[in-house]
Structure 1
Amino acid sequence: MATLSQADEAQLKAQLQDAVVSCTERCLYQSAKWAAELLTSLPSADDAGSVTDVDSPMSDAPPPHTPTTVPKDPTELRLEAREAHKYLLAKTYFDCREFDRCAAVFLPSTLPKGSIYAASPPSAKAKTKGKAKLGTPTKPKIVADSTQALSQKSLFLALYAKYIAGEKRMNEDSKMILGPEDGGVTVNQELPGICAILETWFTNLPASGRQPQGWLEYLYGVVLAKGKNETLAMDYFIRSVHRCTFNWGAWQELIGLLGTAEELNQIISRLPQNIMTFIFHVAASQELYQATEQVHSSLTQILSIFPTSAFLKAQRALLHYHTKEFDEAEQIFNNILISEPHRLDNLDNYSNILYVMGMRPKLAFLAQLSSNTDKFRPETCCVIGNYFSLKSEHEKAVMYFRRALILDRTFLSAWTLMGHEFVEMKNTHAAIDSYRRAVDVNRKDYRAWYGLGQTYEVLEMHSYALFYHQRAAALRPYDPKLWMAVGQCFSKVNKVTNAIRAYKRALVAGSYYDAGVGSSFGSGDMSALGGGVLDPEVLYQIALLYERLQDMQECSAYMELVLAQEEGPEYDEATLEIGGGVGVTPTTSKARLWLARWEYMRGMYQRAMELANELCQDGVEVEDAKALVRDIRARIEREKNDSR
């Protein structure tokens, strides 16, 4: 992506400005906010120091001409002019959160039967029936007027208001979080009606001769995705981003429908070739944990155009977070917080980083800051929940994660973090429920899949645990911890060969993180590991598995590999020092003890004695080592006597 010319930059500013206005007109406030922040992060002439004095005659000059976006359809302009007053009324209703009233401006509803217009007072029997049905009133139906006479802007606002009204009722009807009746099955009752209207509208579109604007395609995609018709939903989102490219909401919905990096690569060719597709690719790669050099390079190029964009900086921080580069991620989030102290987006991720790093004072400060900004944001509740979790006050942590979910039941972090807290509290049933709800919200959340696996391991249901660990490892193929979990489960269900293969993949994954390469991943070939330090625990587990297979030659070879990790591969000829190793650990000591016994059994007493004496010096497994030394000396003495 080349640097923008002055004309391209002017056009980009005009497009972003138009996106802010268009999204605001349709009450898509999150997308409008995103576009406005991106617009502001573009360097302006003011940044270069060429600020015009307000008293100068130049201050009265009109702004320079910037190219307009896609020209408006004359038919749409005529319809919008005719509906202008009604549209303003509807939008004010929406802004006042009177969603049903907003929709009724353009899509009038009829009252249910037995309404206030009844001719005569109802009988006592009727009153009783009325009271019985008071909790479940009949839903008003849309009068069957044609929606073709409405402008697309007005139709979108009306249908979007109905959708939001349905979401609001759905949340109100939902039971207590993880309560006895909380099955997560409450649905938006308005979806079928909205879907029917849009289906008819798009069916009649070719005959009407009107040009689609992309907004109704976006809304139809949302409705289809809610109904699990994901393939068709993706088609409509792609249509939408071709028409209204800077509606970030449509791009976010597309990201939500992608399950793998392969799906992302397949869809790229169907998208418009502009800067938004670059931003989409980076954001989608981050969501899919693809923190490659190519993604970082693309992000660097985009940041050169939008150097102060907090959103793009946060994407960089999240890429570092996914590769466990916590120091880099923390520094970026810290800088974002300094420049925008009231920005709550991604603070839940920042609090996770501070939690992992054990930075309790900073996490306490973050909790106080976010609480002072807005107590009723899910991000704030998650930050406070993480703070209490770090203090080991798990009941309070669960309370705040519940609050986050009351505010937004689709807030992924809260479900996963609450599952972790229930594991700490030994409440495995609630933990499983939390993790299941997390993967219902986002199938790409490897932490929830891994949490499910761990919880089923606690319950000693290893076949179930194996399934969930494999799902997690498929999402994060370069995370050694996940492959170690898969190997452990295979070992528990007596699939030893599969367990060895999984542990070897853990070794390759670990070398990927250390060396930053993964081209040879998945081959199972030990030569792919290069010359870096390997995880002694993984090598030790592989050795024990070979012992179960009675392959003592491979077992001893891996035990030797465990010992080799103490000193590491780096040798400095100047100082004659060997570095880069893990040093003596309990795992390497166990391997040394095993090898000492193995050499003793083979009659290699000198080597066995050396290993046993090393164990005595290490201070680990000392008693077993001393006993082994006595046995070796006794055997050597006996053989000397026998030879006489």
Structure 2
Amino acid sequence: MGLSAKDSLQLREALQTAVVKCSERCLYQSARWAAELLDALPEPDLDSHMSEDVSEPTVHPAFAPNPDPAEAALEAHELSRYLLAKSFFDCKEFERCAAVFLPEPLLASLLGTDPADVAPSKGKAKGKARAVPAVSSDYALPELSQKSLFLALYAKIIAGEKHKDEEAEMIMGPQDSGAVVNKQLVVVSRFLARWFAERKADDADYPPSQGFLEYLYGMVLAKEKNDNLALDYLMQSVHLFPWNWGAWQEITNLISRVEQLNKIAPHLPQNIMSFIFHANAAVNLYQQGPDQAASINDLLSIFPTSSFLLTCKALLCYHSKDLFAAEHEFNKVLALHPFRLDALDHYSNILYVLNRRPKLAFLAHLCSNIDKFRPESCVVIGNYYSLLSLHEKAVQYFRRALTLDRSCLSAWTLMGHEYVELKNTHAAIESYRRAVDVNRRDYRAWYGLGQTYEVLEMHAYALWYYKKAAGLRPWDAKMWQAVGSCLQKMGRDRDGIKALKRALLADSYYDTATAAAPSSSFASGVGDRMAQMDPEVLLQIATMYDRLGELDEAKSYMELCLAQEEGINAAAAGADDSTGRAAGGGGLNESMAMHDASPGSDPEAETNDRGTQDNAGTGTGVTFATSKARMWLARYAIQARDYATANRLATELCQDGVEVEEAKALMRQARSGMAEGGASSSVADEQVHHQPRG
């Protein structure tokens, strides 16, 4: 994807306008996002600017007056009050900012209620806000410009959020139920409902909307859990003004499925913002593959140094389990933008999994020096303490992050992990539940709930939560392995086998996606390693077939498990035809064919606890699972009177060092059987030799 000089100039002007308009309405996060994207756009040729006629001064479109004359007149009339209100907002005096244009008595008359009912509560009462009566039609709405009205109502919402945080109890304290609400939402919602109703009337003659009040109303409706109506207003907002990134973020938060994303995509404005939104939403929905990587690379060709797009690329690798590539991309972001803290909590998760303790210590020190009171900094420091096994200290920093921002998803989920380590299952469950309340797409929280209930041996609950996690990550083998293991513990072996076979196919999906991704950097860091099937999963499947009495299927999967020591090719050669049939559909043989000779995506595969680095390129080496499979096959061979195979397997077991005594007993039994077989053969030969000739 490339832009012509004219398109690049138009894009630059649109982003400059977006920064100014969002800043005027105190949408600082959206203004910062547009400014960062603008900075990543390559500078135009200086000669082209010098060649333009500069004899007459021109007004940049970003600072041009409102094209609508009625709105322009209102803005000019309100300029002094607007500047006063904006200065109050910048000084974080949100109530004073709102009162400049919408004083409490005016709101009370419009709402037909007492001012005390809409004023912020000073007490410690918890629960829902008081019901506000319908907007009174006896009083006309104040005649304000859309910019001033947006600033006043937005300040009202921010003030409500501030009071909500003040009324909330200590994080995870005895009274922290998460039930405190923003009491100003209902006020703003009723006001905007009437404002839009008047403009939609048949005889209405109002200036066209600018898109910001639609964004505000959509945001309020989303907080009130009215998702469908919120999505309608947010889509209207991005059609009217597509450069407000906050509106696109709200739409992203309302989309829970890829099908929903594909459904609304044709109804969005067709411009570069829609393209950026689609790439970001796909990453948030844990989509991966060459198509997603190509979309982000196309955008990076326009904005080469964009911190936002580089972070999306890193998260794409992270969700694809390509942790080394994700680390490389985050290193690039940190080198280009060393003072940017956004998404560094994800980077610390990657360093934690890869056990990069020195690098994580450096990152924690860097974040602390930049801003120790940012939620991302607290999460990074908490991850560092967790890696040191100082779990109480880690919980302290995760709680600090949540004190700063109760919607910090990473902090809720990671604090749940720490409480699991501390064996505090009640607190872990509460942490995971709060994470799910923040974002129901967070599969880690659902998976954590399943793990915690499994520890409590409440397998029915655990299975439900594991299925929720698997629904969000249908191609993640870990999710399906958890479902299969839970079903196995519940005695539902047949269903457990299906889930574990799905886990094997999911592994093949990620290995294929990693091989196809153009950004994979495994080849440089790890070297080519044939993709493996998980011996633990194969052993579980074989064990459940054994319990069902299907010994032929059990033997096939035991052999497949054992063959993982030498690599996938050996596994494919050692598997019976029944193994492929047992997988259903195309069979496991077909899924093994999907494993290309590609770099892997499991950081723990570099070295194995029981294997060596030398055999990392061909197989897993000896593991506990393969030793268990070897023991089962040795016993099976004894029962089948295949004493030579039993002797060979028992000898290998003695070399493995797993269950040596039982292996020695099997070896003696096999050799005894071989000896008896040899003696019987000698007697038979002797009888044949002395048989009289006919």
TM-score w.r.t. length of structure 1: 0.88
AA of the residue aligned to 2:232 = D
Q: Is the 8 A contact 1:360 1:390 kept in 2?
A: yes
Provide the rounded CA distance (Å) in 1 between the counterparts of 2:404 and 2:626. Answer: 50
CA deviation after TM superposition for structure 1 residue 63, in Å:
8.7
CA deviation after TM superposition for structure 1 residue 492, in Å:
1.1
Whether 1:595 and 2:633 are equivalent positions in the alignment is: yes
Q: Give 2:21's aligned residue.
A: 22
Whether 1:191 and 2:185 are equivalent positions in the alignment is: yes
> Unmatched 5+ residue regions in structure 2?
109-120, 517-529, 571-614, 684-694
Provide the rounded CA distance (Å) in 2 between the counterparts of 1:60 and 1:51. Answer: 12
Q: Is the 8 A contact 1:11 1:66 kept in 2?
A: no
CA deviation after TM superposition for structure 1 residue 614, in Å:
2.4
Provide the rounded CA distance (Å) in 2 between the counterparts of 1:533 and 1:328. Answer: 19
CA deviation after TM superposition for structure 1 residue 103, in Å:
0.7
CA deviation after TM superposition for structure 1 residue 308, in Å:
1.0
Per the alignment, do residues 210 and 559 of structure 1 end up closer, same or farther by CA in structure 2, a change over 3 Å counting? same
Matches within 5 A, 1:331-350: 331-350=328-347
Matches within 5 A, 1:453-532: 453-516=450-513
CA deviation after TM superposition for structure 1 residue 413, in Å:
0.5
Q: Give 1:88's aligned residue.
A: 83
Provide the rounded CA distance (Å) in 2 between the counterparts of 1:465 and 1:102. Answer: 49
Q: Greater shift after overlay, 334-343 or 275-284?
A: 334-343
Matches within 5 A, 1:420-435: 420-435=417-432
Q: Is the 8 A contact 2:305 2:336 kept in 1?
A: no
Provide the rounded CA distance (Å) in 2 between the counterparts of 1:264 and 1:146. Answer: 40
Q: Is the 8 A contact 1:147 1:155 kept in 2?
A: no
Provide the rounded CA distance (Å) in 2 between the counterparts of 1:442 and 1:614. Answer: 50
Q: Give 1:364's aligned residue.
A: 361
Secondary structure, in 3 states, of the residue corresponding to 1:500?
A: helix
Q: Give 1:34's aligned residue.
A: 33
Provide the rounded CA distance (Å) in 2 between the counterparts of 1:463 and 1:558. Answer: 27
Provide the rounded CA distance (Å) in 2 between the counterparts of 1:112 and 1:36. Answer: 35
Per the alignment, do residues 310 and 279 of structure 1 end up closer, same or farther by CA in structure 2, a change over 3 Å counting? same
Q: Give 1:166's aligned residue.
A: 160
AA of the residue aligned to 2:91 = C
Provide the rounded CA distance (Å) in 2 between the counterparts of 1:105 and 1:363. Answer: 48
Q: Is the 8 A contact 2:171 2:403 kept in 1?
A: yes
Per the alignment, do residues 57 and 258 of structure 1 end up closer, same or farther by CA in structure 2, a change over 3 Å counting? closer
Per the alignment, do residues 446 and 375 of structure 1 end up closer, same or farther by CA in structure 2, a change over 3 Å counting? same
Query: How big is each residue's C-alpha offset from its partner over 1:93-121, in whole Å with a ceiling of 9 and x where there is no partner?
Result: 111111111111111113999xxxxxxxx
Per the alignment, do residues 581 and 518 of structure 1 end up closer, same or farther by CA in structure 2, a change over 3 Å counting? closer
CA deviation after TM superposition for structure 1 residue 279, in Å:
0.5
Q: Is the 8 A contact 2:568 2:619 kept in 1?
A: yes
AA of the residue aligned to 1:211 = P
Provide the rounded CA distance (Å) in 1 between the counterparts of 2:298 and 2:101. Answer: 45
Provide the rounded CA distance (Å) in 2 between the counterparts of 1:94 and 1:67. Answer: 25
Secondary structure, in 3 states, of the residue corresponding to 1:43?
A: coil
Q: Is the 8 A contact 1:10 1:67 kept in 2?
A: no
Secondary structure, in 3 states, of the residue corresponding to 1:485?
A: helix
Provide the rounded CA distance (Å) in 2 between the counterparts of 1:248 and 1:312. Answer: 14
Q: Give 2:549's aligned residue.
A: 550
Provide the rounded CA distance (Å) in 2 between the counterparts of 1:313 and 1:64. Answer: 36
Secondary structure, in 3 states, of the residue corresponding to 2:340?
A: coil
Higher relative contact order (CA 8 A, sep 6+): 2
Per the alignment, do residues 614 and 103 of structure 1 end up closer, same or farther by CA in structure 2, a change over 3 Å counting? same
AA of the residue aligned to 2:175 = E
Query: How big is each residue's C-alpha offset from its partner over 1:110-157, in whole Å with a ceiling of 9 and x where there is no partner?
Result: 3999xxxxxxxxxxxxxxxxxx99767999999985335111111111
Q: Give 2:264's aligned residue.
A: 267
Query: How big is each residue's C-alpha offset from its partner over 1:532-582, in whole Å with a ceiling of 9 and x where there is no partner?
Result: 5311111110000101111111001111111222222459xxxxx996222
Q: Give 1:105's aligned residue.
A: 100
Q: Give 1:247's aligned residue.
A: 244
Matches within 5 A, 1:196-235: 196-206=190-200, 207-235=204-232
AA of the residue aligned to 1:289 = Y
Q: Give 2:435's aligned residue.
A: 438
Whether 1:237 and 2:234 are equivalent positions in the alignment is: yes
> Unmatched 5+ residue regions in structure 1?
114-131, 520-530, 572-576
Q: Give 2:647's aligned residue.
A: 609
TM-score w.r.t. length of structure 2: 0.82
Aligned length, in residue pairs: 604
AA of the residue aligned to 2:94 = F
Q: Give 1:124's aligned residue.
A: none
Provide the rounded CA distance (Å) in 2 between the counterparts of 1:57 and 1:613. Answer: 85
Per the alignment, do residues 423 and 445 of structure 1 end up closer, same or farther by CA in structure 2, a change over 3 Å counting? same
Provide the rounded CA distance (Å) in 1 between the counterparts of 2:106 and 2:210. Answer: 33
Q: Give 1:319's aligned residue.
A: 316
Provide the rounded CA distance (Å) in 2 between the counterparts of 1:578 and 1:101. Answer: 66
Provide the rounded CA distance (Å) in 2 between the counterparts of 1:196 and 1:298. Answer: 41
Q: Is the 8 A contact 2:221 2:230 kept in 1?
A: yes
Q: Give 1:396's aligned residue.
A: 393
Q: Is the 8 A contact 2:481 2:499 kept in 1?
A: yes
Per the alignment, do residues 300 and 62 of structure 1 end up closer, same or farther by CA in structure 2, a change over 3 Å counting? farther
Q: Is the 8 A contact 1:512 1:518 kept in 2?
A: no
CA deviation after TM superposition for structure 1 residue 45, in Å:
2.8
AA of the residue aligned to 1:197 = F
Identity, in percent, stands at 57
Provide the rounded CA distance (Å) in 1 between the counterparts of 2:85 and 2:71. Answer: 18
Whether 1:447 and 2:447 are equivalent positions in the alignment is: no
Q: Is the 8 A contact 1:597 1:608 kept in 2?
A: yes
Provide the rounded CA distance (Å) in 2 between the counterparts of 1:221 and 1:443. Answer: 19
Provide the rounded CA distance (Å) in 1 between the counterparts of 2:460 and 2:538. Answer: 24
The one of 299, 307, 310 equivalent to 2:296 is 299
Per the alignment, do residues 79 and 578 of structure 1 end up closer, same or farther by CA in structure 2, a change over 3 Å counting? closer
Provide the rounded CA distance (Å) in 2 between the counterparts of 1:485 and 1:155. Answer: 52
CA deviation after TM superposition for structure 1 residue 635, in Å:
3.3
Secondary structure, in 3 states, of the residue corresponding to 1:392?
A: coil
Query: How big is each residue's C-alpha offset from its partner over 1:257-305, in whole Å with a ceiling of 9 and x where there is no partner?
Result: 1111111111111100000011001110110110121111011111111
Q: Is the 8 A contact 2:637 2:643 kept in 1?
A: yes
AA of the residue aligned to 1:230 = D
The one of 327, 348, 353 equivalent to 1:330 is 327
Q: Is the 8 A contact 1:10 1:66 kept in 2?
A: no
Q: Greater shift after overlay, 630-639 or 597-606?
A: 630-639
Q: Give 1:524's aligned residue.
A: none
Q: Is the 8 A contact 2:449 2:462 kept in 1?
A: yes
Provide the rounded CA distance (Å) in 1 between the counterparts of 2:329 and 2:21. Answer: 32
Query: How big is each residue's C-alpha offset from its partner over 1:350-408, in whole Å with a ceiling of 9 and x where there is no partner?
Result: 11111111111111111111111111110011011111111111111101100100110
Per the alignment, do residues 579 and 369 of structure 1 end up closer, same or farther by CA in structure 2, a change over 3 Å counting? closer
Provide the rounded CA distance (Å) in 1 between the counterparts of 2:165 and 2:280. Answer: 28
Q: Give 2:3's aligned residue.
A: 4
Provide the rounded CA distance (Å) in 2 between the counterparts of 1:551 and 1:257. Answer: 47
Query: How big is each residue's C-alpha offset from its partner over 1:42-72, in whole Å with a ceiling of 9 and x where there is no partner?
Result: 10136xx8699xxx99997779998779973
Q: Is the 8 A contact 1:446 1:472 kept in 2?
A: yes
Provide the rounded CA distance (Å) in 2 between the counterparts of 1:633 and 1:18. Answer: 86
Whether 1:618 and 2:612 are equivalent positions in the alignment is: no
Secondary structure, in 3 states, of the residue corresponding to 1:45?
A: coil
Q: Greater shift after overlay, 608-617 or 31-40?
A: 608-617
Per the alignment, do residues 66 and 151 of structure 1 end up closer, same or farther by CA in structure 2, a change over 3 Å counting? closer
Provide the rounded CA distance (Å) in 2 between the counterparts of 1:360 and 1:264. Answer: 38
AA of the residue aligned to 1:377 = R
Q: Give 1:122's aligned residue.
A: none
Q: Give 1:527's aligned residue.
A: none
AA of the residue aligned to 2:363 = L
Provide the rounded CA distance (Å) in 2 between the counterparts of 1:382 and 1:165. Answer: 26
Provide the rounded CA distance (Å) in 2 between the counterparts of 1:514 and 1:84. Answer: 60
